[in-house]
Structure 1
Amino acid sequence: MRLNDKVVVITGASSGIGRATALAFAAKGAAVVLGARGHEALEETVRECVRRGGRAVAVPTDVSDAHAVQRLAGQAAARFSGVDVWVNCAAVTLFGPFDQVPLEDFRRVLDVNIMGYVHGARAALPHLRHRGGGILVNVSSIAGAVAQPYAHAYTMSKHAIQALGSSLRQELRLQGADGVGGVKVCTVMPAVIDTPLFQHAANRTGRQVRAMPPVYSAERVARAVVGLVRRPRREVVVGPMGRFLVAQARLAPGLTEKMMAGQVERSHLAHEEPAEATHGNLYEPAPGPGSVRGGWHGRRKTAVRRALAAAAVVGTVTAARRVLR
């Protein structure tokens, strides 16, 4: 499918996966309409998209504001006469013990990560229907299938995104709007990705938050999103470890919970690096020009060893279950 005549709206486009996705579509010649809170980072993303060969426009947008998201959709339709692809990607996160995180911070994560996607879907679907079909992509996480400690609000939000996608697909089917050339709803579930998400996180743990290996590139997720325009699928897990963990959670949920708890405690939070409490970027965007990457690569050897060890454990569990049958 040709992408140089497509109009793509992306929220959370100023950094991380959203920015990488904008650049990937721009490199294919698509027109990209970019929404995010950080004006400077958003404008820098526009410049990078133009350098890649795409057409790009920035529309400062807080996805928790339904009117702002409707304005984003309206700007796309006014500037480029429609919307073909909508990518919900804006997200924030919060780390901390369940009974110690401020409730207003907890609500803010849910408001951005869940209601932001609801606002995006409600803004996008009428335009996609008017266009005669299109793609709605919700960027979730493997946290939508495999929960983690200390990240309750984020994990809840990603589970909700999985449910939102499933419900929308069913409703479109009942309406007869999901057939050939119709509206497709796709959910992308990345594993741990090298983005600034962890530097931008609200943190009440007293410890520095680190990306938990193995860490994959944001460009890898962007390629998956672009691929969905050519071949829509219900759900796509990005990263071998992500696929492994999702499969393991279905096979042995209790074991997965135990392993994930230990992995987060050992690898996600740095015992030797104390950190002051912070709201991160929950209420204000991170300053500066933004970036795709967070600088978390370089931990692959340890990650591979852990992955192989985990695979051995799951292989043992699988074999045991077969024997019990």
Structure 2
Amino acid sequence: MSETVVITGASGGIGRATAREFARHGARIGLLARGRTGLEAAAKEVRELGGQALAVPTDVADHTAVAEAAGAVEKEFGPIDVWVNVAFSSVFAPFTEITPEEFKRVTEVSYLGYANGTREALSRMLPRDRGTIVQVGSALGDRSIPLQSAYCGAKHAVNGFTSSVRTELMHRKSNVRITVVQMPAVNTPQFSWVISRLPRHPQPVPPIYQPEVAARAVVHAAAHPQRKQYYVGASTVATILGNKVAAGLLDRYLARTGYDSQQTDERVRPGRPGNLWEPLDDEDGMARDFGAHGEFDEKASARSPQTWAARHPGSLLAAAAAAGVAGAAVATRRHWS
């Protein structure tokens, strides 16, 4: 039986790729985002891939709008089984160049948007004692970097908030599950649509992964929510573990390299439009679908061996055992030859 899934931030990037992945499993999907052009394109893709779609224009920072969207999805498709929080916005700039209003708005979308979505999901899942919430997190929720103070602060907050909710569910002995998928640098349109005050075009810090890598991890986490966290990409593992053992060293390293590594060589005009306050789908009356991918296809990897291993621990153990047996056989032959 197919599931009913809600995805915030579904018009582009990881949210868009995740909608496609759930559609391949025949899911009924409520697509939430602000931009109508992107939402309509996402809904079309979902239907073409075998799923059902309901596009609901929603600003996740508005808790009333999120509640109304959740109600619309359940009216159309029935009880929500999986809720995936993805929606975010950001500002690329030193903290002192981000206005108080901008910082507040990033926090409302990228942190409180997750709280609003989680609240609505729990209000429906707890009485039924079933359901799964997947938070799309980031390695930057453990290890902050320069030029993204608002976004890093929001992702840190999501981790703390989710841990608190998880322990409350455990206290209730609830069958509702909540898990976080910590992401690496991903080739999404955010680098073209967030506000940037950098002199050059913003970019993800390599290694870069395609959004489909992230989407497969999200769908796997939704099906296996027993783990409290999933790490996508070896770079995420290295970043989080490195921060635990050498945070001071990373501070100095990022102070030296963190500005240049987040910018290409391309100059950008001052005051380029961003999507913090309004979606760019219909900027100047021109409908534009940004899709799942950003501008870095040539630099992005479509595979992550680490993520595959995390999703297939049995296969990894079997391969290790086979390698051990083969090694033992070689050693035995050498001993008797």
1:187 aligns with 2:180: yes
For residues 272 and 80 of structure 1, what CA distance do their matches in structure 2 show? Answer: 46
Larger Rg over CA atoms: 2
Structure 1 residues 119-158: aligned runs within 5 Å: 119-158=116-155
Distance verdict in 2 for CA 1:300–1:228, change over 3 Å: closer
For residues 271 and 48 of structure 1, what CA distance do their matches in structure 2 show? Answer: 34
Aligned to 2:311: none
Aligned to 2:211: 218
For residues 273 and 203 of structure 2, what CA distance do their matches in structure 1 show? Answer: 16
Give SS of 1:35's match: strand
1:264 aligns with 2:264: no
Give SS of 1:99's match: helix
CA contact (8 A) 1:22 1:49 kept: yes
Structure 1 residues 80-99: aligned runs within 5 Å: 80-99=77-96
- 1:278 CA drift (Å): 4.1
CA contact (8 A) 1:198 1:209 kept: yes
- 1:173 CA drift (Å): 1.1
Deviations 1:109-160 (A, max 9, x none): 0010111111101111021123331111111111101101111100100000
In the comparison of the two structures, how many residue pairs are matched? 294
- 1:295 CA drift (Å): 2.3
- 1:99 CA drift (Å): 1.3
Give unmatched runs, 5+ long, in structure 2. Answer: 282-287, 302-337
CA contact (8 A) 2:210 2:300 kept: no
1:62 aligns with 2:59: yes
Structure 1 residues 241-320: aligned runs within 5 Å: 241-270=235-264, 273-278=267-272, 280-287=274-281, 288-299=288-299
CA contact (8 A) 2:93 2:196 kept: yes
CA contact (8 A) 2:7 2:19 kept: yes
- 1:290 CA drift (Å): 2.5
1:227 aligns with 2:224: no
Q: Percent identity?
A: 37
For residues 279 and 247 of structure 1, what CA distance do their matches in structure 2 show? Answer: 36
For residues 272 and 45 of structure 1, what CA distance do their matches in structure 2 show? Answer: 30
For residues 279 and 104 of structure 1, what CA distance do their matches in structure 2 show? Answer: 16
Aligned to 1:23: 20
- 1:271 CA drift (Å): 5.9
Give SS of 2:23's match: helix
CA contact (8 A) 2:121 2:133 kept: yes
Give SS of 1:199's match: helix
Q: 1:5 aligns with which of 2, 5, 25?
A: 2
* 268-277 or 58-67: bigger deviation: 268-277
Give unmatched runs, 5+ long, in structure 1. Answer: 302-325
1:204 aligns with 2:193: no
Opposite residue 258 of structure 1, the aligned amino acid is R
For residues 275 and 237 of structure 1, what CA distance do their matches in structure 2 show? Answer: 36
Aligned to 1:79: 76
CA contact (8 A) 1:37 1:285 kept: yes
Tell me the TM-score normalized by structure 2: 0.84
Tell me the TM-score normalized by structure 1: 0.87
Distance verdict in 2 for CA 1:252–1:44, change over 3 Å: same
Aligned to 2:162: 165
CA contact (8 A) 2:146 2:255 kept: yes
- 1:264 CA drift (Å): 2.0
Runs of 4+ in 1 over 4 A off after TM superposition: none
Opposite residue 144 of structure 2, the aligned amino acid is A
